[in-house]
Amino acid sequence: MEATIVTDKIKHYPVLLNEIISVITPQHGGTFIDCTFGQGGYTKKILSYKDTNVIALDRDIECEKEADKILHKFPNRFIFKNKKFSQLENLKTKKENINGIIFDLGYSYTQIKDPKKGLSFNFLGDLNMKMGINDFSAKEVINKLEVGELEKIFKFFGEEKEAKKIAVEIVKKRLSKEISTENLVEIIEKTKRKKNFKVNSATKVFQALRIFVNNEISELINGLISATRILKKDGVLAVVTFHSLEDKIVKYFFKSLSENKSISRYMPKVDQPRTLFRIDKKKPIIPSLKELKENPPSRSAKLRYVIKKDDFYKFETDILKKFKYLIEIENFGKKL
């Protein structure tokens, strides 16, 4: 799921690769989990160091093709699972210490340009946006949810200022015909008053739909919690985000568990230190000028990481309560 650069040949470009490697230090060996395998950029680099093992997962079954190539080369050091973040703790592997866990929340060029996935507003046809292991598509969302529900999805998941107007126009239009990708783009372009010529008018709505269809909020939150549970002492949890909502969630989770106030005073049975994480770098790591030049899609990438201070499994976090309003919006999908 890593961002890529477009050239005459499609070049795979894992974002902030050198920075990720410097943070998780695979040169010392160990077992690592690549939670967003994609085209395997991080995995390949980690396995290039001896005495390393990688457990990779991705909800997109198409990624298995690339995983099979790596498995052929590293049969004893690599495992791939077609699973979501929320299934991270259920990985059936031998009991190993996990030295590092990586989440790259971007999408690969291959995925974006796959017309069957319908992630891009540049393609014609049905709205899809399912990345795998889904219950419904964007087509069902646009054509079935109520105007107020669509408004909240666009407003909170896409940070779309004209969410209400767009939602109203969608509901009007679908009375006469089913909304397709091109219909949706046309509605958005006609509805939005201010045009940003640097960014397509449909960008925020498509982002919102992708997040909603794939339950990306609850998947990220549950993935972070699960990753923290299985990470060893001194292990590194690293996350690359691409938009402000993702970054807000990751920043809060890391900050809240690295401060004393995050640990409950009402759990005397749990023997845990005063804080769970150590943050070495408070500000996010962003791409270098060299990377930005070679790979413009990396411009919005931010890398945050924490180091786990002890091996304890049980800990308290209020992150589900903090972002309850977003999870409640995701729950609109249960009626589809």
CB proximity list for 123: less than 8 A, separation 6 or greater: 115, 181
Same domain for 220 and 308?
yes
283 is written with which tokens?
């500000």
Structural domain includes residue 64: yes
Alpha carbon separation from 124 to 101, 117, 127, 180, 183 (Å, rounded): 37, 11, 9, 8, 9
Kindly state whether residue 56 falls inside one of the protein's structural domains. Answer: yes
Domain boundary among 162, 192, 213: 213
Q: Is 83 helix (H, G, I), strand (E, B) or coil?
A: coil
Calculate the dihedral angle through the C-alpha atoms of 228, 232, 234, 236, rounding to the nearest 10 degrees.
-50
pLDDT digits (tens, 9 = 90+) for 280-320: 999 999 999 999 999 888 899 999 999 999 887 788 899 99
pLDDT for position 156: 97
Final residue of a structural domain among 213, 239, 257: 213
**297 and 155 inside one domain:** no
Domain assignment present for 12: no
Name the burial class of residue 113, with classes exposed (0-12), middle (13-18) and buried (19+) by CB atoms within 10 angstroms of its CB. middle
How does residue 13 score in pLDDT terms, banded at 50, 70 and 90? confident
Looking at the DSSP bridge assignments, the partners of residue 33 are 55, 101
Indicate whether 96 and 140 sit together in one domain. Answer: no
pLDDT score recorded for residue 12: 61
Q: Are residues 27 and 168 in the same domain?
A: no
**Is 287 in the same domain as 245?**
yes
pTM here is 0.89
User: Quick check: is 326 in a domain?
Assistant: no
Provide φ and ψ at 26, rounded to 5°.
-70, -10
- Per the domain annotation, does 10 fall within a domain? no
CATH number at 59 reads: 3.40.50.150
Distance CA 298, CA 325 (A): 29
Give me the percent of the chain exceeding a pLDDT of 70: 84
209 and 233 belong to one structural domain? no
Write the CA distances from 317 to 75, 216, 283, 327, integer angstroms: 38, 19, 22, 16
Same domain, 226 and 265: yes
Q: Do 223 and 81 reside in the same domain of the chain? A: yes
pLDDT band at 7 (very low <50, low <70, confident <90, very high): very low
**22 and 83 fall within a common domain:** yes
Cβ-based burial of 126 (10 A; exposed 0-12, middle 13-18, buried ≥19) = middle
Boundary-marking domain end, from 213, 230, 262: 213
Could you tell me if residue 30 is inside a domain? yes
Tell me whether residue 181 is in a domain. yes
Type of residue at 294: E
Same domain flag for 200 and 261? no
Range of the domain at 38: 17-110+216-312
Four-CA torsion 30, 33, 36, 41, nearest 10 degrees = 10
CA 274 to chain CA mean position, Å: 29
* Residue 4 pLDDT: 38
- Over 90: is that where the pLDDT of 124 sits? no
Q: Please, are residues 233 and 308 in contact by the beta-carbon 8 Å criterion?
A: yes
Q: What is the CATH number of the domain that holds 181?
A: 1.10.150.170
Residues 6+ apart with CB under 8 A from 49: 26, 27, 29
Asked whether residue 184 is assigned to any structural domain, the reply reads yes
Nearest in space to 187 (alpha carbons), one of 161, 207, 162: 162
Q: How many domains does the chain have?
A: 2
pLDDT confidence of residue 23: 97
Per-residue confidence (pLDDT) for residue 95, from 0 to 100: 61
Which tens digit of pLDDT belongs to each residue from 32-86? 999 999 999 999 999 999 999 999 999 999 999 999 999 999 999 999 999 999 9
SS3 category, 117: coil
Question: In terms of Cα–Cα distance, which of 119, 136, 126, 89 is closest to 207?
Answer: 119
Same domain? 238 vs 185: no
> How confident is the model over 212-249, as pLDDT tens digits?
999 999 999 999 999 999 999 999 999 999 999 999 99
Tokens of 295: 């790979």
Do residue 69 and residue 22 come from a single domain?
Answer: yes
* CA–CA gap between residue 87 and residue 132 (Å, rounded): 13
For 180-210, how does the pLDDT look when each residue is reduced to its tens digit (9 = 90+)? 999 999 999 999 876 666 667 888 999 999 9
**Banded pLDDT at 268 (limits 50, 70, 90):** very low
